[in-house]
């Protein structure tokens, strides 16, 4: 197993449980537990929560320092738990170092610069090798982008001093999450993006609602704007800030893995090419996680583990193509959750479409957001006019990250829009908005 990862650690534990000898190679002990636990989902959402708790008179630097300390304490515990869940098993060997293929199902592990892992190179061979190396930030080719105050989503979590003025390059999910977070901590935030609107993959009305909330929170949006250079100094240029976050996407971390030596094919973006069971072009080599181009979410990595386990120890029935109605959330305040098609995608696919859409503040049968003091946002649901199937939903409201899972399950189970409309939900909750919103279709 090359790389920890959600799917990787689960798969390694399952294979060890069958009596197999397992080696898991991780280039950094700080990454025991995967990107999600160590630098991604959990630490950033911890910071987002704390940012939402800050009061106007709280000093931004002191408040941020306390939040980072809490983040670090939590991640330290999770990191240790993740190490011992594998290292304490008799048939699992944890190896710290940088792996590179030197032949079919054979990797060389090199010491990591400055690390405390292997003292010299060693080689590991196996009947099965899983590539699980995750993804890394994309850094655009802009003069000065390597300056000392140019940060990515990992380094920004420990930025010192706290930037009173922050520029975010990129208006996708990662950029907007950090923009919202640092605005909550008290920074003046400017989002710069080449596109004409935030979240370019979403429908216009959804993107407009998000932009309205961001601007209402005091975030400046410079859209249709190209960054031509970053200059470090007292006079920063057209936009003067204390730090810059580069959030222009992530790419598979597959460079320098020696994949050609193993006979593993990659596509033009560096994704490992896999079949429907996550087999690569090399016999006995599989890929999991963010590096194969089929979604970069920790819960998809977990499902990758199920697919490979099915192929190796089960009946082989699980497939990548079985996935349907996979939900996701951008953790703004309030969160934006989505599943399935946008209205545009549904119409482009030739569907006969009905849509219901409206501001959360206008939904009478949804007192929960009003009760917690945040009735902002939008609900939009796309329904097949011929079959009454839910084709997609965008829930931009308090508790949206939970309600979207119900809608996704309904879509997978064939529950119709009418059945969701007539559902009996707890009160007061955000879920009961489905009664009123879907009632517009009646």
* Residue ranges per structural domain of the chain: 6-137+251-322, 150-248, 328-441
Tell me how far CA of residue 420 lies from CA of 118, 247, 353, 423, in angstroms: 55, 37, 17, 5
List own/partner pairs for 85-90 with CB under 8 A and 24 or more apart: 85/9, 85/13, 86/9, 86/12, 86/13, 86/16, 86/22, 86/24, 89/13, 89/16
Per-residue pLDDT of 287-345, as tens digits, reads 999 999 999 999 999 999 999 999 999 999 999 999 999 999 999 999 999 999 999 99
Known catalytic residues are 427
Whether 6-137+251-322 shares its CATH topology with 150-248 is answered yes
Confidence of residue 237 (pLDDT cuts 50, 70, 90): low
Per-residue pLDDT of 392-414, as tens digits, reads 999 999 999 999 999 999 999 99
CATH 3.40.50.10490 fits 6-137+251-322, yes or no: no
* pTM of the predicted structure, to 2 decimals: 0.94
Please choose, from the candidates 114, 112, 115, 110, the residue with its C-alpha nearest in 3D space to the C-alpha of residue 99: 110
Residues of the chain with pLDDT > 90: what percent?
Answer: 95
Tell me how far CA of residue 332 lies from CA of 149, 395, 442, in angstroms: 24, 12, 32
**CATH number of 150-248: 3.50.50.60, 2.40.50.140, 3.40.50.10170, 3.40.50.720?**
3.50.50.60
Phi then psi dihedrals of residue 24, to 5 deg: -120, 120
**DSSP state letter for 273:** P
């Amino acid at each position: 197993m090359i790389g920890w990862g959600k799917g990787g650690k689960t798969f390694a534990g399952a294979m060890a449980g069958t009596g197999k000898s397992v080696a898991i190679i991780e280039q950094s002990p700080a990454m025991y537990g995967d990107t999600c636990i160590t630098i991604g989902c959990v630490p950033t959402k911890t910071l987002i929560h704390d940012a939402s708790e800050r009061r106007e008179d709280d000093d931004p630097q002191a408040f941020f320092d306390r939040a980072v300390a809490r983040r670090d304490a939590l991640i330290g515990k999770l990191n240790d738990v993740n190490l011992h869940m594998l290292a304490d098993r008799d048939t699992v060997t944890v190896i710290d170092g940088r792996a590179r293929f030197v032949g079919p199902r054979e990797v060389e592990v090199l010491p990591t610069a400055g690390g405390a892992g292997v003292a010299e190179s060693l080689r590991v061979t196996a009947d099965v090798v899983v590539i699980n190396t995750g993804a890394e930030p994309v850094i655009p080719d802009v003069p000065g982008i390597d300056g000392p105050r140019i940060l990515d989503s990992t380094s920004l979590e420990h930025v010192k001093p706290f930037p009173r003025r922050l520029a975010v390059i990129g208006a996708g999910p990662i950029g907007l999450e950090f923009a919202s977070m640092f605005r909550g901590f008290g920074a003046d935030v400017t989002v710069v993006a080449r596109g004409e609107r935030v979240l370019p993959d979403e429908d216009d009305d959804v993107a407009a609602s998000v932009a309205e909330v961001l601007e209402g929170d005091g975030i400046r949006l410079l859209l249709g704007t190209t960054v031509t250079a970053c200059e470090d100094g007292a006079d920063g240029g057209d936009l003067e800030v204390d730090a810059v976050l580069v959030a222009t996407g992530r790419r598979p971390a597959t460079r320098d893995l020696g994949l050609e030596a193993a006979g593993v094919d990659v596509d033009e973006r560096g994704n490992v090419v896999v079949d429907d069971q996550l087999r690569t072009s090399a016999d006995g080599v599989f890929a999991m996680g963010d590096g194969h181009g089929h979604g970069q979410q920790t819960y998809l990595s977990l499902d990758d583990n199920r697919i490979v386990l099915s192929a190796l120890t089960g009946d082989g029935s699980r497939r990548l193509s079985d996935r349907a109605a996979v939900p996701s959330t951008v953790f703004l305040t309030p969160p934006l959750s989505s599943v399935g098609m946008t209205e545009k995608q549904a119409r482009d696919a030739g569907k006969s479409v009905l849509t219901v859409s409206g501001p959360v503040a206008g939904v009478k049968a949804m007192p929960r957001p009003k009760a917690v003091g945040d009735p902002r946002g939008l609900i939009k649901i796309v329904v097949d006019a011929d079959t009454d199937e839910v084709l997609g939903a965008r829930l931009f409201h308090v508790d949206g990250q939970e309600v979207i899972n119900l809608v996704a399950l309904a879509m997978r189970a064939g529950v119709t829009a009418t059945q969701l409309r007539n559902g009996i939900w707890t009160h007061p909750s955000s879920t009961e908005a489905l009664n009123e919103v879907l009632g517009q279709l009646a």
